[in-house]
A and B are shown apart, each in its own frame.
Chain A
Amino acid sequence: MIWLAWRQHRKQGLFAVVGLAVLAALLVPTGISMHHTFTDSGLAECLRKLGTAEFLKPGADCDSLSSVFTNQYGTMATLGMLSVFLPLLVGLFWGAPLVARELEQGTHRLVWTQGVSRLRWALVKFGLVLAGTLIVSVCYALLLSWWLEPLSQAGQGRLAELNFDVQGVAPVAYTLYAVALGIFAGTVWRRVLPAMAAALIGFLALRFVLLLGVRAHFLPISERTYPVIGQIRPNSTLGDWIYSVGIKDASGKVVAANQQIQCAPAVAGNPNGPCAAFGPGAYNFQLYQPGGNFWPIQFIEAGLFTALAAVLLYLAIRQIRTRIA
């Protein structure tokens, strides 16, 4: 049975290896150059000195070095983010055809009438493809994690949208989920193209809902405040995921959404100045997930997708054992 599964899917395995090689050929040289620039430009040293203080004094930041760095590699970073779709591709081209192609070509009638049970057939086939998925997605996640390291530190941090989604353990779970969803869709729709379409929609829908609506609330949200009139500013290099900002007045009422403002005490009195509109005692606030929550959130999300993948595989096996002929 292992021989059969290997013989059937070795070509897909080869494609995956080639795909990974291409990805590595693109990312390894650019990654090395990025790491060098990060160190050589002094940005690494600057960030290290900045430490993990929550607030920074005036002039104590690495903003100029950071912006030089992100300007240099920004486009490349955006391109790197495209790899967020790789798990989906694995789901579409490995998962969806796995059972659907057999049903479409009728070969399930050939293989299920040999001396091997459907359960064993499904377990071996799924097992082999999931093992392949695991290897490929771990390579992909490790590669991207390493590649994104300087960009994350210089820029928005690992928790930021898309940054989060291509590193750590989450992409591995996304890939498992995509494959399981493809397999399950194949057992329901029983044809390759509809199964691919269903997997595409199912994957994107859940990922978007999680990304935009749910992820921020996995763990309690922190709030950080600092006065409108003053000179201490939050340290933006902590990797915090700031997803809502605004200005409140002294009574705690939100007076301006989506903006932050600060005026040095010396110029605060200027009636035409930007800070005049806000009364005394007004302060900026930020709602955020601290950068330190990166791994807990990664594991929560990975756990969720892995559990879903397990449920989908269970349902797929149930379909195979009882529903399909």
Chain B
Amino acid sequence: MIEFLLDGYSQAAPYMQLVQQVKQGLRTGLIEPGDQLPKVRDVAESLAINPNTVLKAYRHLEAEGLVEGRPGVGTFVRRTLAGPTLAGQAELRRELVAWLRRAHKAGLEEEDVVALIQTTMRATFRNDETREEIA
């Protein structure tokens, strides 16, 4: 079972943070179909947040078809996001490690690397989106 965290400095709304953490768990294989998500009460208590926030996150996930609520029992994972990409992750990770080493040799500090990745990611995915829209 996953444990939720809330980042007080994050721009994202608390319920969105919970949604993202579930999705991340699904992508990395930390949670799998059939797993139960923490009970609303327990999340509300451990994070000291409004139970409605947790409910909202779970309903959001339900609307996306990722989880299903069984009344009186709990909320369970229906499908995973890992899918075929999980297998490819090991290979990608190896390449990323090699690239990071090169970047380090080239004199980039950790912060430079993060900045480079973020700006590149933004530009790349935005271009892809625009292209898709045009298409």
Direct A–B contact in the complex, CB atoms closer than 8 angstroms: no
Q: Which residues from chain B sit less than 8 Å from chain A, CB to CB?
A: none
